[in-house]
């Protein structure tokens, strides 16, 4: 969307002058005099207000004939989480058993508002929900390793056993003591020049790769869970790491085919179709963004 609201334009222009990290990915600024577009943090000399236009996505900047700036590389960097968000994610990873409060975030120089907004926009879930998924995932891994449910519940920082059982059930589907054989699908996020994507994997391989903003994503998640008789929870495994690496190489032009293992339920025919489909979807989107 082209920004026409005067207040917004003023706010964005000021953010551009101040190189404000928190506006990265919020707007893309086209510079009429040079024909390039930038993100807020660009180190290049700042254009005059009368020479800029603001868009909400980089695709629109491309559509309107602007080239990505070579200094700030907007298509590569725009979907990176801002530093504060990265720090918040690291905090969650380092303390999977704790519930981080706004006060704790502020103590680390992280604005809870920025984190909340970013999570809503990029993950479509709240930061709290993300933390909860991470805690549940951690608890699940420990359950799988054989720790007993009582021990895990107290370890995970839940106030009471019943509370733990309730949350776990809501997300994973069964109460902890019955969940040992339940399959799980780990979900993680990666950034590509085309926008953020979700990658899902089981212990056997990658089972879903999809753009975050794709409609019907919830239906896809539901179908996938039904098909694999598993529940989706936040996490990362070797397959996801491998997929992220290969996709990054792919977009850099250093890779043409994927070697990552896929976990695709269904017949051999369905699998071959699925593979083609997965590749083509990336290709089609990639070519679209290149030619437009
Ligand atoms: Zn730039």
CA–CA distance, 179 with 194 (Å, rounded to integer): 37
Distance 149 CA to ligand 1 centre (A): 52
CA–CA distance, 283 with 277 (Å, rounded to integer): 10
Distance 232 CA to ligand 1 centre (A): 38
CA–CA distance, 230 with 185 (Å, rounded to integer): 6
Distance 69 CA to ligand 1 centre (A): 4
Distance 36 CA to ligand 1 centre (A): 7
CA–CA distance, 56 with 99 (Å, rounded to integer): 33
Distance 71 CA to ligand 1 centre (A): 5
**Among candidate residues 65, 31, 62, 58, the one with its CA nearest the CA of residue 46:** 31
Distance 147 CA to ligand 1 centre (A): 52
Distance 46 CA to ligand 1 centre (A): 9
Distance 15 CA to ligand 1 centre (A): 13
Distance 39 CA to ligand 1 centre (A): 6
Does residue 200 sit in helix, strand or coil? strand
* pLDDT tens for the chain, residues 1 to 292: 899 989 999 999 999 999 988 788 789 999 999 989 999 999 999 999 999 999 988 778 888 888 888 898 887 776 666 778 888 888 888 887 778 889 999 998 888 988 888 877 766 667 887 787 777 666 666 655 655 555 554 454 444 444 445 455 555 555 555 555 467 888 888 877 777 778 888 888 888 887 776 666 777 777 777 777 777 777 789 999 999 898 888 778 787 777 888 887 655 545 554 555 455 444 444 433 433 3
CA–CA distance, 29 with 15 (Å, rounded to integer): 11
Distance 79 CA to ligand 1 centre (A): 15
Q: What is the DSSP letter of 178?
A: G
Residue 199 is encoded by which pair of tokens?
């990658």
Contact 16, 48 (CB under 8 A): no
Distance 81 CA to ligand 1 centre (A): 18
CA distances from 151 to 120, 140, 147, 165, 183 (A): 33, 12, 7, 13, 22
pLDDT tens digit sequence for 179-188:
554 678 888 8
Contact 9, 23 (CB under 8 A): no
Residue 113 is encoded by which pair of tokens?
């508002």
Q: Tokens 């950034």 correspond to what residue?
A: 191
Distance 68 CA to ligand 1 centre (A): 7
CA–CA distance, 53 with 263 (Å, rounded to integer): 45
Distance 164 CA to ligand 1 centre (A): 48
pTM of the model: 0.43
Distance 285 CA to ligand 1 centre (A): 24
Give residues with Cβ within 8 angstroms of 52, minimum separation 6.
Answer: 13, 16, 29, 30, 31, 32
Does residue 148 sit in helix, strand or coil? coil
For residue 290, give the H/E element and its range.
Answer: helix 268-291
């Amino acid at each position: 969307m082209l920004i026409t609201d005067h207040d917004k334009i003023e706010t964005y222009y000021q953010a551009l002058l101040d190189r404000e990290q928190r506006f990265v990915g919020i707007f893309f600024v086209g510079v009429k005099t040079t024909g390039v577009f930038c993100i807020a943090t660009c180190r290049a000399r700042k254009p005059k207000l009368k020479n800029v236009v603001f868009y909400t996505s980089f695709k629109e900047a491309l559509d309107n004939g602007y080239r990505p700036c070579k200094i700030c590389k907007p298509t590569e960097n725009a979907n990176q989480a801002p530093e504060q968000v990265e720090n918040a994610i690291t905090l969650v990873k380092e303390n999977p058993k704790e519930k981080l409060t706004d006060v704790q975030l502020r103590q680390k120089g992280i604005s809870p508002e920025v984190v909340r907004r970013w999570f809503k926009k990029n993950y479509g879930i709240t930061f709290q929900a993300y933390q909860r998924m991470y805690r549940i995932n951690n608890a699940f891994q420990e359950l799988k390793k054989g720790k007993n449910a009582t021990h895990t519940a107290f370890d995970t920082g839940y106030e009471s056993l019943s509370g733990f059982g309730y949350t776990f059930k809501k997300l994973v589907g069964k109460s902890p003591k019955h969940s040992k054989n339940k399959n799980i699908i780990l979900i993680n996020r990666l950034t590509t020049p085309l926008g953020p994507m979700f990658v899902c994997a089981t212990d056997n391989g990658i089972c879903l790769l999809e753009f975050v903003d794709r409609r019907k994503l919830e239906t896809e998640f539901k179908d996938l869970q039904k098909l694999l008789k598993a529940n989706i929870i936040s996490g990362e495994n070797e397959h996801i790491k491998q997929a992220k690496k290969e996709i990054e190489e792919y977009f850099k032009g250093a890779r043409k085919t994927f070697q990552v293992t896929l976990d695709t339920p269904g017949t051999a025919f369905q699998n071959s179709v699925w593979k083609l489909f997965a590749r083509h979807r990336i290709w089609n989107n990639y070519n679209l963004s290149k030619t437009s």
